[in-house]
Chains A and B, each alone.
Chain A
Amino acid sequence: MDIIAARNLAVGYDTSRVLSGLDFDIPEVRITAVVGTSGCGKSTLLKTLAGLLPPLEGELFFGAERVDFQSEASLASLYHGIGVLYQNGALLNNLGLFENVALPVRMHHPDMPEAVLREMVHDRLAQVDLLDSAAKFPSELSGGMRKRGALARALVLDPAVVLCDEPSGGLDPITSNHLDDLLLKIRETFRTTFVVVTHELRSIEKIADRVLVLREGRLHFSGTLAEVLASEDAFVRTFFHRKADHDDA
């Protein structure tokens, strides 16, 4: 069962088309990695999947529903189904970590009893190993902690899909590995679907079930991790094995 589907999708900005002719499906309870060279449009695609940037062309489906970017109700329905982990976490700097994680609950369920809310937030912070830092402000957290805090916030209302923009970006290998373990654990426990934009080959090999390879404004390759790793396509080989064609000679 696919939870997100793109049909002939073109994404970009008023003045420039970044990607076009995209046709892909994101399967449920799987981790799909979106890869490609720098500037190929991975983050732009993620913005469209997150409902922040209307497509220039084509259609995006979330579950069975077509996302209508002109309709506030349709976008609200999309927003309720997704969580987004931004590159820098994007925690609100004027709120402490606890309040950042509590924010979606407070906004959408203002009548939630405070005791239950505290329990919800504590559970999420414990899952990302940040319970001891609940009272800290984002400025007092390291990059890895901010990302884990943002992940806790993205997960607090149990979204069906979490979109992650370079979760390992700027993190050391140990922290990055820890974050990968966390995504796998969350996927197993809560059956969450992840779409992960990343450059980290080790991370892709560890967590990805499916891979979308973007190149020169198009979807160049799409398949399972095993298919991607076994691919004879020159670009895919270059990307995943850091190996150009002439190296084989």
Chain B
Amino acid sequence: MDENGASTVSLPRQLRVGDIPAAFREIRARREEGPVTVDFRDVEEFDSSSLAFLSYLRGCAADVRVANVGPKLEASFEAFLGGTPAPSCEVPEPGFDVRVLHPLSDRFLDRMRRLGRFFVLLSDEIYHTGAYLKERKGVYPGEVWNQLFFMGYKSFPITCILIFIIGVTLALTSATQLKLYGADIYLADLIGYGMVRELVPLMAGVILAGKVGAAVAAELSTMSVLEEVDALKTMAVVPEKFLMVPRLIAMTLAVPLLVALADVVGITGGVIVGRMSLGILPSAFLREMKTAVDLGDFFIGLAKSVVFGWAIIVASGYKGLTVGRSAGEVGRATTDSVVLSVTLIILIDCVFALITY
């Protein structure tokens, strides 16, 4: 206790960064009992954290008094922190509006702004694609073919392998159940209808969202970070047209071809399982499948896949072109583009189901 009745906390001769937490805890504990005097008398060696600690203590309320600060410490404090206002040690507890309502409303407005930007980009793309098809200007020559090669040819093996595996898995799990009821032949109906109308377009969309969408978002966001997009703008080149239209056209051409091939591959998986597991001849399988699946189903599958493709490109382009300036945002934009693409694909699939069933 000092002459004012305050309890005293004496600091050690060497006050280093490792000593601060213990001193802080002791001061806090003593403050609960009454006023505290922090005595710097013994402090001879110190570092920058000691200066920060002193600054903090001087910003505290009247119940914390700083005493006996040596001339060396005082001089260092003046030299480094003299002009800096001391932080207030009494941080007021934020109210409900600051803690909850402000962040909520900020987040809501941010979401609305993003949604608006997404639809602006979507409408821009429709306009630019139309303008390009009419005028054949504003897109780098040959870029559509480059993108077609990447989206179609380069995506073909992985898409077909995965769809084949899905066809086999679906056939195997269905065959076991159908066998129980003696309804073996209906495996053809199930595989044909399920694959052509639903699974192939949906899974191809998801695979392309991961492979193509992520690549597009990563490429565009890197270009944004490296100022390449700004460079295009200042060359009076419209980035939304130059970068997006070739990808959109390539996707429109590539996806139906991919899905048509994947339909064949997926059904082949079903045929193989039908033959091996249930003894259904391929000719019988295909004959039965024809009774359940018609050309309309095939074209609905293709139409859906084209819309999925557009969703992937617009979602990835949106994420890629609205990225900030740091490298870390490239990774975030890439991940977000896949999440957004898959979400849109599922939503669109649901809308198609509501319309066509």
Binding site for B on A (CB under 8 A): 47, 50-52, 76, 79-80, 82-84, 86-88, 90-95, 103-104, 106-108, 110, 150, 153
Q: Is the CB of A103 within 8 A of B137?
A: no
User: In whole angstroms, what is the CA distance A76 to B241 when docked?
Assistant: 14
Contacts of B227 in A (CB 8 A): 86-88, 90
A51 touches B233 (CB 8 A): yes
B140 touches A84 (CB 8 A): no
**Quick check: B138 and A107 within 8 Å, CB to CB?**
yes
The answer to whether A79 and B137 have CB atoms under 8 Å apart is no
B235 x A107 contact (CB < 8 A): yes
Assess the B230–A79 pair: CB atoms within 8 A. no
User: 20 A-B contacts, Cβ less than 8 Å apart?
Assistant: A50-B230, A52-B233, A79-B234, A79-B236, A87-B227, A90-B227, A90-B231, A91-B231, A103-B140, A104-B235, A104-B237, A106-B140, A106-B141, A107-B137, A107-B138, A107-B235, A110-B136, A110-B137, A110-B141, A153-B235
| Chain A contact surface mostly | mixed
For chain B, give the interface size range: 10 to 19
A-contacting residues, B228-257, CB 8 Å: 228, 230-237, 242
User: Once bound together, how far apart are the Cα atoms of A84 and B236, in whole Å?
Assistant: 11
Contacts of B17 in A (CB 8 A): none
Residues of chain B from 110 to 155 with CB closer than 8 A to chain A in the complex: 136-138, 140-141
Using A84-B231, A86-B231, A90-B231 as known contacts, say yes or no to A107 and B226 having CB atoms under 8 A apart. no
- A52, B235: Cα distance in complex, Å: 11
**In this complex, what residue of A is CB-closest to B136?**
A110
Residue of B nearest to A77 (CB): B236
B231 closest partner in A (C-beta):
A90
Q: How far is the CA of A80 from the CA of B234 in the complex (A)?
A: 8
Interface set of B (CB-CB < 8 Å, partner A): 136-138, 140-141, 219, 223, 226-228, 230-237, 242
In the bound complex, CA of A87 to CA of B228 (Å): 11
Chain B residue numbers with a CB within 8 Å of A94 are 219
Q: How far does the alpha carbon of A82 sit from the alpha carbon of B233 in the complex, in Å?
A: 11
A116 to chain B, nearest CB (A): 16
CB–CB B228/A76 < 8 A = no
Q: Which residue of B lies closest to A165 (CB)?
A: B227
Please give the distance in Å from B104's CB to the nearest CB on chain A.
19
Chain B residue nearest to A104 (CB atoms) is: B235
Smallest Cβ distance from A164 to chain B, in angstroms?
12
Q: In the complex, what residues of A have CB within 8 A of residue B136's CB?
A: 110
Knowing A106-B141, A107-B138, A110-B137 are in contact, say whether A93-B234 is a contact too (CB < 8 A).
no
- Residues of B near A90 (CB, < 8 A) are 226-228, 230-231
Most buried by B among A76, A106, A150: A106
**CB neighbours of A93 from chain B (8 A):** 223, 226, 228
CB-defined contacts of B140 to chain A, threshold 8 Å: 95, 103, 106-107
Q: Which residues of A contact B235 (CB under 8 A)?
A: 79, 103-104, 107, 153
Closest-by-CB residue of A relative to B237 is A107
- For the complex of A and B, list the 8 residue pairs with the smallest distance between their C-beta atoms, beginning with the closest: A79-B236, A90-B231, A90-B227, A84-B234, A104-B235, A86-B227, A107-B237, A90-B228
Partner of B230 from the list A80, A86, A108 (CB cut-off 8 Å) is: A86
Contacts of B237 in A (CB 8 A): 103-104, 107
**Residue of A at shortest CB range from B222?**
A93
Contact status B236-A108, CB under 8 Å: yes
B131 to chain A, nearest CB (A): 13
- CA of A153 to CA of B232, assembled, Å: 11
Which A residue sits closest to B235, measured CB to CB?
Answer: A104
A107 touches B231 (CB 8 A): no
With A106-B141, A110-B136, A110-B137 already in contact, the answer to whether A88 and B226 are too (CB < 8 A) is yes
B234 and A92: CB pair below 8 A? Answer: no
Inter-chain contacts of B137 with A (CB < 8 A): 107, 110
Name the CB-closest residue of A to B241: A107
Q: Is the CB of B141 within 8 A of A52?
A: no
Q: Please name all residues of chain A whose beta carbon is closer than 8 Å to the beta carbon of B223 when the two chains form the complex.
A: 92-93
Cα A47 to Cα B136 with chains together (Å) = 30
Alpha-carbon distance between A51 and B233 when the two chains are bound, in angstroms: 9
Give B229's nearest chain A residue, CB to CB: A90
Task: Report the Cα distance A94→B226, complex, angstroms.
Answer: 13
